[in-house]
Amino acid sequence: MSDIATGSDLLWIARGHWEIFIATYLFLGGLSGGAYLTSVVSSEVFRPRARGPDEIFACEETSRWGAIVGVLAIAVGGVALLSHLGAPLRALTFPVLFTNFGSWLVIGTWFIVLFALFVTIEAFWLLFGEEHAGSEGLSYVPRWIVAWIDDVLPLPEGWSIVAALDWLADRLRPTERARRVVHAVGSVAAVGVIVYTALLLTDVSVVPLWDRQYLPIVFLMSGPSTGISAALLGTVASGGGLSRTNHLFCLADDALIAVETVTLVGLLVALSSGSPAGEQSYDLLVNGAYFPHFAVGVLALGLVVPFGLSMTMTGLVRFTDIEHRWGAAFTGGFALKYVLVLAGGFLLRYTLLFGAVKQPLGVP
């Protein structure tokens, strides 16, 4: 039975049994793809144009944080997705059982597998190899953990896991040209992971909230936005909050937020003047049970406030020299913006799932 009020001439269809794990997966999938894209852009676009050691440091930290976040997010998101399945181990047989290549479920599964491979390799190359031995930066935490394991394990004298990983990374590291090809293919897989879930949802034509015109654009903006926020949050923690790299990514994030906001407003307008189920979803998100999550959490705190905060700081940086006199305040401001974007990104997926209402059946 539905928990929506029943009309006298409409039969409301019961909702699906969505759980928090699916919302978590949708959020982490988009975030992981966006973090990888952030890492690639930092390596391929910003790092070659970096001016001075501080800017180079910020670019490299952003690249590493993007790859690390991408690996962690797709790993945790994958566990969240599998935990929702009745027979999770059967999903591991997807190369044999998933043969319907016209389904976004099958296409998305292959995107996930390919993306997980590319982002793991990228993180490995960015953390290990002789060029990284002795390097500094908070993003080297995974390397420090492996070195700690070296110290506590009773390994034979002369054996070292870090040294072995450095040796392997150096021998697997491709040329710069081949690395660009890897980045290009990995980026395609990342975009696929970001957007396929939206296309999968829009196949359910009886849910107006999962609108085919608006939802893919929302996911395509929100995924990179949360990915940038997660990766740059690491860069800010590493001391790169006042770097040009952070400013450029912050402005790119603002553009994504602006498009996402306009698209969500368009979706709400379409829902409010559409079918009965669309109006029910509109009421749930704007006036009803999910008002705190969507109107306050997503629109106000997840989009409008971060955009306004970023524009204010950008204006002050552009027209004054207050950034260097109030460096701690600006660093805290950037960190706050990124945290709000991440919280808003999760609540967006949560409300898109739990605010979904199926079209009712007409009762003659």
Query: Residue 275 carries which DSSP code?
Result: -
Q: What is the pLDDT of residue 3?
A: 47
Q: What is the pLDDT of residue 227?
A: 98
Tens-place pLDDT, residues 215-239? 999 999 999 999 999 999 999 999 9
What's the Cα-to-Cα distance from 2 to each of 14, 91, 223, 272, 358, rounded to whole Å?
4, 30, 31, 20, 10
Q: What is the pLDDT of residue 20?
A: 87
- Report CA dihedral (316, 318, 323, 328) to the nearest 10 degrees: 70
Q: What is the DSSP string of 30-43?
A: HHHHHHHHHHHHII
For residues 106 and 234, give the distance between their C-alpha atoms in angstroms, rounded to a whole number: 33
Contact 42, 63 (CB under 8 A): yes
- Which residue in this structure is represented by tokens 């957007």? 195
**CATH architecture of residue range(s) 13-129+173-355:** Up-down Bundle (1.20)
Query: Residue 65 carries which DSSP code?
Result: H
| Structural domain boundaries in the chain | 13-129+173-355
Q: What is the pLDDT of residue 211?
A: 94
For residues 21 and 82, give the distance between their C-alpha atoms in angstroms, rounded to a whole number: 9
Q: What is the pLDDT of residue 2?
A: 45
Can you list the residues of the chain whose pLDDT is less than 50?
1-5
For residues 303 and 312, give the distance between their C-alpha atoms in angstroms, rounded to a whole number: 14
Q: What is the pLDDT of residue 4?
A: 47
Q: What is the pLDDT of residue 17?
A: 61
Q: What is the pLDDT of residue 363?
A: 65
For residues 33 and 112, give the distance between their C-alpha atoms in angstroms, rounded to a whole number: 10
